Structure 1
Amino acid sequence: MPITRVETSVSAGDHSVDQFRSQLFSQVHRLGFTAADGHLHTCSAEFPDGALKIGSVESTGHRINLTETEDVTLLFPQLGRIGVDLGGTNRVARAGQILALRPGDRLTSTATDAGPRFRALVLMVPIRHLAPLVEGLASTGLGASDGLWLAGAQARRLASATAEVAAGLLRAPPGRLSDRGARGMARLLHERIAEALIAAAGDDPVPGTWRSDADLVRTAIRLMRASADQRLSVADLARDLGIGPRRLQLAFQRAGQPSPRDVLANIRLQVARDRLTRPGTGSSVTDIALDCGFVHLGRFSGQYRQAYGELPSETLARARA
């Protein structure tokens, strides 16, 4: 099933305001604007198999009363601020902040501050995909249903990955993006979300029972190599090892290794090079990069050239000559 992309626009005074249906949230009870000439524009893309939804929201300022029944919501304000009333608890997020919300009822209001527009990105992830993490975050805001701030390096990586995927999917039609490429993007975002949630909790959800860090690292690298074609994520790897991503990262650090992410990236580069030197019918650099877990194609080309001294397109052209 291909990625589904939908755009919606509504203005104050339109008859459609009372019948507004969001493409992101389960149910909208009421939509209103803070100005007589208010306007709201949304664009959303849903990944295959309902893995997640990504959307952009731009308005002159609006209020929306909604119920979300299935998805964890992650809000990324870019311009202005957004306030969320969770039935007794209020949260305000501004540009550069990330707020995670459990499913439930809420009243959301946006403001433009000094500028003419409010703008934000939104990620919607089925809670069933995050259930083990949410249970492990019982003492945090997400576990208590009053919202969880995501901050630090892991949150910044999540924001960067979200912005990259949104730029590729929301500013123009998905075009020829393959289902495998879409699933690679979804896997990357799931990995970044898991890491940011675990970092917010401040500890591992599951304690490790390995004899030594070196033993853990050797096993982890062996699994990376065995599963590289499946676009294994760091979060997936940690789960397979019976530990949390934080424990895995510390083991690599104490063993004097690059980070698990860097090791996995190098292995993926090796897999991509193998694919480029033995291309299948109709294979392109874009398809191969996405299949190997690379979302930012320019960054992939730069990393590939640094590692192998040539562009991936040059490797592919030589293989086809």
Structure 2
Amino acid sequence: MTTLLSERSCIFNQADAYAVSEYVNQHVGSHEIRMPPKGQPRASISHRTFSSLDLCRISYGARVQVLSPALESIYHLQILLRGHCRSFARDREQIYTPGEILLINPDDPVDLTYSADCEKFIIKVPVGLLESACVEQKWVLPSNGIRFAASRHDLSTLECFVQLLGLICQEAESAAAPEVQVLYERLVASKLLGMLASNVARQIPAQSQGQGFEAVRQFIDAHLRKEISIEQLMAVARVSERSLYLLFERQVGVSPRDYVRQRRLERVHELLQSPAARSVTEVALDHGFLHLGRFSEAYRKRFGELPSQTTRRCQEGLAVNG
């Protein structure tokens, strides 16, 4: 099997199991362990951080039960290297043996029991990395988050992915440059989404994301004089808050709130150039700019002149033409 972390990455070797567990809590995922009351099991762990990924190889030296309500913001992909593992989640029990992969979703309750001779490799993948990869691939990001199917995965069918992990471990131990690490982490995310069954819809018309944004854009333009909440935009786009921010990042490169503020400035700029323009203060307040000093500075940065200069320039133009 491809080498997944060498002795160069060793953090604890034949150490107290609870000390190793505390290290895992700090770096790999929140959990608690339950072990036999007798004996002094010796645990070992190797660990590397690689961009936003965490790579970990661990053995506890005794039968151990690992529990967690949920991992919340991360996915755990575990490769069983030695021994066996019993997984019990959502009233379903499975036994994993060497050469099999277990993937734990962020909302999955964790109840895993490992044999005394068990050794496993874990790669921790943040939710945001997978969601960004989903948007980059122009796939539909589920409103309730990406969730992988609870199916068994054999290393023989994922050989290329395991080789990729081996390369990543080598790069991590060789202190690869940050830009190299980013390329590898994006490749991991794309590979996981492409090769494992999930709730992500992969084949969609290319314009779907744009059409979803167009509805939001029209709503914003129609309500620039009113309060516009993130919840309203989520309802119009029919996506989660997470997906909404990713949609705006992909379409316009700014957050929803920044885009609304930008459109309000543009609308004020249009109105101040109108022959029937009201005072700067009235127009600004009408569009939610309550702090006039900040409004003037934001306007100047956006259009290269103060609001009063815009109105003066337009009035002078009218006078010359009139």
TM-score with structure 2 setting the length = 0.48
TM-score (norm 1): 0.48
